[in-house]
A and B are shown apart, each in its own frame.
Chain A
């Protein structure tokens, strides 16, 4: 499943990130394989989304979330 498909109240772990530039940035921001993610907010126009990554909150566009594979717990 993709991170972009995650629903509220579902907790998932990151499986893989596709795309070199994107994965570097996300790894630096602590979103790496094995980390826990949870959907927290959706912006007024449906995109971007805000997620909890481990212990903090960040936002990203759906197109980028679509490059992140997750496993729902």
Chain B
């Protein structure tokens, strides 16, 4: 036996695959992306005995090998290609015993690709509660493969699996579907085109190639036509025949204690949770709770992160000699990093809620409840998860849209999700709302500040729905718009799985979004730090002389702040602001705000930091400083001597930040998910246009 065997873990969604993967590998796994996709690829290692370990690849859950969604396609891609480095020696198939028949369909398809399969029967306890149990010997004999019963949640049966993985004599290749009923000449031809020896694998690849993989599609279609072969009819026949084999195996091994189906806890819970009044009330209350938690629980950890970075930048600033490197590290790299990590607490809290709701089975019900509402907008019930997550960060939300099978509905969801007000907009809103109304103002029992903030979130949601309705008219992709989804039984969450998921999602966010934000921050730092040669030097000289003259009325700190303000104004970023001013003047913005619009491209919250630099407020943007910026901005006058930040300008800015696409990370994830430049460009253009027009309207109404 070799030292390492490659095992693919496959199964239907909701079959307990994640629990089994975690039970086998613990934290000894890494998450990367499948090449060319953003679908997470989880590879873990499990020690089988002293000499051998198994490399375990977690395949996304799917119902069949004719993939219908982006994540299902990955499973197929791994299993179809024997030349692939990750092609498994063996498939460990996990099936839900309480719903065995449907689970076994995929197993028979996987086995027919010519890979040995072993079956792990999970959730035997659930089946027993329904009065059902299986004679494992008979099931194994009928299916022709080894079968073990496990309980992945309690890590029961793991050693039985390990023994089976080690025992090569039990790894058997079996076939369930008789491919010889298909025209032999067609099979030969398809085999040549696809370069596959296994006729079933070849035919299946050919069928999928027509739908998903463009290479050789023409040749394949010609062959299908030549032999009068209808792939859809074939798939139907294939599925029905497979179920015949499965029915027989299940019938012979299944023992039922009671004859009628007992209404279980899930059904009792669903009567309330999907009730036409209570269902909605519970969903909205949960949403409110999540919303509250994101903003109240995260305050303390966010302060900690902020303090940590303040300390870090101070330390670097002091320990390195003055100069470009120091400046780059502090104002480019560290500032960019802190801009990412500051949102980690909110994102972790949001993910925790979503993961728990998903794990217990509630998220599927949210899709069920919301489908009717989302439909007129060209989306479906599954779109609600990305939209809600969008309130924390659009990047992971767009990844979450993968489960939407219909391409059009998925694309629309991706396009409108960034309109949901994410946490990066919060500091901007906070500053601007603070300039509109005092923090203590009340409308009856409500804090005005909070009401305005709520209105901004609502505005984002309405804009998302409205844009979706427009896209529905223009986006043309084929694919039928069904909404067929399993509603899994309710279960208690597995806390171990939750922690592992949070760890994975958190690190994926930091690494994924972090790379881009840091890169963009460094570029923008360069724009803001360098300018047309002469200007910068003149400023440096002016302040050098001023410092020499040592005017007692101006402290050196104030001098330094004024200097950096002047430098920024003279920099390329400042030039950009002046260049763009004519375009943004109708919105009530001046060139200083133009600079902030540019720097916000790294991340929206950079607005606050840029404003503090422009108005030469030393240090960060916390506490007193925030008030100082507010006061300085409010004291600013336009050429007519009126306050520059009138109500009209502030509202206009808020609307602009609500709608504009100012996030490079989001654009790059959209490019990765849609595999084209077209959609990120469309998204950038439409959101910017929407922001511009809305701001224009708002400014003109209020001024």
Q: Which of A's residues lie within 8 Å of B, judged by CB?
A: 19-30, 32, 40-48, 50, 52, 54-61, 64
Contact = CB atoms under 8 A, between A and B. Distances in A.
Could you say which of A20, A22, A30, A58 has the most chain B C-beta atoms within 10 Å of its C-beta?
A30
B109 to A, nearest CB: 10
Given A32-B240, A43-B274, A60-B482, A24 B66 contact: yes
B102 to A, nearest CB: 4
Interface centre among A22, A26, A45, A47 (most CB of B within 10 A): A45
B195 interface: no
Question: Which of A23, A52, A59: most chain B CB closer than 10 A?
Answer: A59
Contacts of A25: 68, 482, 484
Given A20-B232, A29-B484, A57-B486, A43 B99 contact: no
B486 A56 contact: yes
Given A48-B372, A61-B482, A56 B102 contact: yes
The listed residue with most A CB atoms (<10 A of its CB), out of B232, B266, B372, is: B372
Interface in B597-637: none
Interface in B257-289: 261, 266-267, 270-271, 274-277, 279-280
B73 to A, nearest CB: 15
A44 B236 contact: no
A55 B372 CA distance: 26
B480 interface: yes
Interface of B: 63-64, 66, 68, 98-102, 105, 130, 132, 232, 235-236, 239-240, 243, 261, 266-267, 270-271, 274-277, 279-280, 368-369, 371-373, 381, 480, 482-489
A47 B239 CA distance: 28
A43 B371 contact: yes
A57 B487 contact: yes
B101 A58 contact: no
Contact of A56 (B99, B276, B368, B482): B99
Contact of B270 (A44, A46, A50): A50
Contacts of B373: 45
Given A22-B482, A24-B66, A43-B274, A55 B368 contact: no
B371 A61 contact: yes
B271 A26 contact: no
Contacts of A44: 274-277, 279-280, 369, 372
A26 B368 contact: no
A55 B98 contact: yes
Contact of B99 (A41, A54, A60): A54
Nearest to A52: B261
Nearest to A54: B101
Which of B236, B280, B488: most chain A CB closer than 10 A? B236
Given A48-B371, A55-B98, A57-B270, 8 more contacts: A26-B484, A27-B239, A43-B274, A44-B275, A55-B99, A57-B266, A59-B485, A61-B482
A21 B485 contact: no
Nearest to A61: B483
A46 B100 CA distance: 31
Contacts of A57: 266-267, 270, 486-489
7 contacts: A20-B236, A27-B236, A32-B243, A43-B274, A45-B373, A47-B371, A50-B270
Nearest to B126: A55
B193 to A, nearest CB: 23
B369 A28 contact: no
Contacts of B101: 30, 54-55
A20 B239 CA distance: 13
Contact of B368 (A27, A50, A54): A50
A28 B63 contact: yes
Nearest to B372: A45
A25 to B, nearest CB: 6
